[in-house]
Amino acid sequence: MAAIGGVSSLSAQESTSGYSFLNIPSSSHAYALGGVNTALIDSDVMLVDQNPALLGPEIGMQAAVSYMHYLGSGNFGGAKFGMYAGEHGAWSAGIRYLNYGSFDGYLSDGTSTGSFTPADFVFEGSYSHDITSRLRGGVSYRMIYSTYERYTAFAMAVDLGINYYNEEKDLSFSAVLTNMGGQVKRFHDEYNRLPFDIRLGYMQTIGNSPFQISINAWNLTKWRLPYYSHDKNDPDKNLEKKANFFSDLFRHLVFGLQYAPTEKFYIGLGYNYKTRTDMSAYQRNFLSGFSLGAGIRVKSFGVGLSYAMPHKSASTLMLNLNWNIFE
């Protein structure tokens, strides 16, 4: 299991949870806007990972796939199918998969046990329903299976979300309780927590312009989020712990700016201060914390592409494809 710890360290101060991969978005649209966006209004079934209340009958009948070359030799992928359930409801089902590349296994005496590929699987289903003409609620249920060499684990989780959307003002507010649940089967003796979180989201069009801004708050189960900074001018100096009011505040916030002149096209830019400061221990570069993406829809087909650099020496590129079988 020591080899897996090396993979986990790439998350750079991400979480004390053993399931931080659940925070990786399946939607390239959300990834472009900082990786966390619970209030993004778009008829994309992949957004249900951010907030089950973003799912609605407007998706029609839709199938979507997502792929991202993750850190190192890892690969992240997902597939979803969703459709309306009457005039005021919708449901979806899907799978997510993350492997961390190939590792060489050894016993404590140095005997080789061959190579193995640790992986996590998430099987999930979601349902949403309109409470009023502007208010919608949703729930997601997940089964999480992990296999790391000869060790396996199983966990279950539930998301509860709500969204308020004023179409006339193009104004969206959301609140989500995510990853509520626990580990049913442990890898060995240690219990790994799920990354339970409370998230709030806001997104609105700026006046009559084609621009929208978004602000999302996450990691709201705890206020203090200290990080460790590396002095690039003195590589031998110990890492310095950083913690103050404004640092904690902005490490809870993710900012996004979107240009969407039509419903068929968007360009998104995101800034995640937590990701940027997490990289302080690794001599971050200029792009750390920023993300960029675009999407276009032609008839019933949509394509989305986004780029981010969650680690100083590794960038990620996410591709989404979706097909409206019936609208």
220-242 residue pLDDT tens: 999 988 877 766 655 556 667 77
Cα separation of 51 and 174, whole Å?
Answer: 8
pLDDT score recorded for residue 8? 37
CA angle at residue 248 from 158 to 318, to 5 degrees?
55
The yes-or-no verdict on residue 193 having pLDDT over 80 is: yes
For the segment 245-267, the average pLDDT, to the nearest whole number, is: 94
For the segment 48-66, the average pLDDT, to the nearest whole number, is: 96
Given a contact cutoff of 8 angstroms between Cβ atoms, the answer to whether 68 and 319 are in contact is yes
For the segment 272-283, the average pLDDT, to the nearest whole number, is: 75
pLDDT score recorded for residue 170? 94
Confidence of residue 288 (pLDDT cuts 50, 70, 90): confident
The yes-or-no verdict on residue 14 having pLDDT over 60 is: no
pLDDT single digits (tens) 209-225: 999 999 999 999 999 88
Q: What pTM does this model have?
A: 0.87
The yes-or-no verdict on residue 298 having pLDDT over 70 is: yes
Residues paired with 124 in a beta bridge:
94, 142
73-77, 115-119, 122-126: range with highest mean pLDDT: 122-126
Category of 29 on φ-ψ map: left (φ > 0), alpha (ψ -120 to 50) or beta: alpha
Percent of residues, the chain, with pLDDT higher than 90: 62
For the segment 46-73, the average pLDDT, to the nearest whole number, is: 92
Residues in the chain: 327
Lowest-confidence region among 70-79, 301-310, 313-322: 70-79
Residue 319, SS3 per DSSP:
strand
pLDDT, mean over the chain: 86
Cα of 21 vs its chain's centroid, Å: 8
Residue 17, SS3 per DSSP:
coil
The yes-or-no verdict on residue 16 having pLDDT over 80 is: no
Lowest-confidence region among 54-58, 107-111, 133-137, 306-310: 107-111
Category of 219 on φ-ψ map: left (φ > 0), alpha (ψ -120 to 50) or beta: left
For the segment 68-84, the average pLDDT, to the nearest whole number, is: 87
On the 0-12 / 13-18 / 19+ scale of CB atoms within 10 A, 248 is middle
Q: What is the largest CA-CA distance in the chain?
A: 68
pLDDT score recorded for residue 17? 57
Q: How far apart are the first and last CA of the chain?
A: 47
Confidence of residue 306 (pLDDT cuts 50, 70, 90): very high
- Give me the phi and psi of 9, to 5 degrees please: -65, -20
The yes-or-no verdict on residue 19 having pLDDT over 90 is: no
Measured between alpha carbons, how far is residue 186 from residues 109, 145, 183, 239 in Å?
25, 11, 6, 33
Confidence of residue 293 (pLDDT cuts 50, 70, 90): very high
Please spell the DSSP secondary structure of 184-239, one letter per residue. Answer: EE-SSSPPPPP--EEEEEEEEE-TTSSEEEEEEE--TT-S---EEE--TT-TTSPP
**What stretches of the chain adopt beta strand conformation (E)?**
61-69, 75-84, 89-99, 103-106, 112-116, 119-130, 135-148, 151-166, 171-185, 197-205, 211-217, 227-229, 240-242, 253-262, 265-272, 290-298, 301-311, 314-326
